[in-house]
Amino acid sequence: MTFPLNAAPGSPIHLGNMNAHRCLIVLRFGIVSAVCGAALTIIAADQITVLDSPSVSGTNSFYLSNRTPVAPSPFLKLPIGSIAPRGWLRHQLELERDGMIGRLKEISPWLDFQKSAWASEEGKGERGWEEMPYWLKGYGDLGYVLRDEAIIAEAKKWIEAAMASQREDGWFGPRELLTSLNGKPDLWPHMVMLNILQTYHEFSGDRRALEVMTRYLKWENQLPPGAFGEGYWPKIRAGDNIESAFWLYDRTGES
């Protein structure tokens, strides 16, 4: 979800020029959406100002925004956990917690912590591709949004293991990925893991996540440009990697 550049925490979000009975607010978390009801306050026509684009002349002192020389953004994504779900929306998230997302580890071989290459300090083990990170990304965010201590603790267990596997050169996670694309590294699963470290840091403030990301991106920076075009997913999803680099730069200033 995005937020006006000059808005403070707790400020109301006003929606104009929209059908009050059918307004759809889409949150960044998975496919969760909430339908606005008739109770949405309609702003009077004489209070609406039409702009070609939101102003970027000011800065936001409440939330972290783009660091120069990156161009300012008119909207900011709120840190995970900033929005507290209630009512129908919270119930839907609780169904996810009590259903497949929350209990997938009970049946999935990809989430066997004792055998997973993602949980090994040496990066050795089984099933070290995208499956576990994809689950953990949604699972952890679900815990942060609900402030569910059990989920948060389980997610942290996986995150701690992944961070502990980092080598001196910056690589972390399954070692097989270093040569899995015809002898070259498969960067795609780590793009998902970088997202996981981002929201983990936003929620916890744990600076180790920034340090792990910094070392890993420095490792990536020494790769030839062609490395980002290897395989199917890395070249299609390279934008995910770029977004994580910008996110990290905004917080550390390192380039």
77: left (phi over 0), alpha (psi -120 to 50) or beta: beta
pLDDT band at 44 (very low <50, low <70, confident <90, very high): low
Looking at 28-32, 39-43, 197-201, which range is the least confident one? 28-32
Instruction: Verify that 19 and 107 share a domain, yes or no.
Output: no
Asked whether residue 170 falls in the same domain as residue 254, the answer is: yes
The rounded mean pLDDT for the chain is: 85
The count of domains in the chain is: 2
Q: Say yes or no: 133 and 182 in one domain.
A: yes
- Give the distance from CA 96 to its chain's centroid: 18
Phi/psi at 58 (nearest 5 deg)? -100, 180
Q: Is the dihedral of CA 240, 245, 250, 252 positive or negative?
A: positive
Structural domain boundaries enclosing 131 = 86-255
Token output for 76:
């900011």
Same domain membership, residue 36 and residue 4 = yes
Instruction: Give residue 32's pLDDT.
Output: 37
**Residue where a domain terminates, one of 26, 60, 78:** 78
Show which of 19, 50, 78 is a domain's final residue: 78
Whether 71 and 91 map to the same domain: the answer is no
Cα–Cα distance for residue pair 193/156, rounded to 1 Å: 13
Residue in this structure with the two tokens 């097989």, named with its chain if needed: 176
Name the 3-class secondary structure at 31.
Answer: coil
pLDDT of residue 185: 96
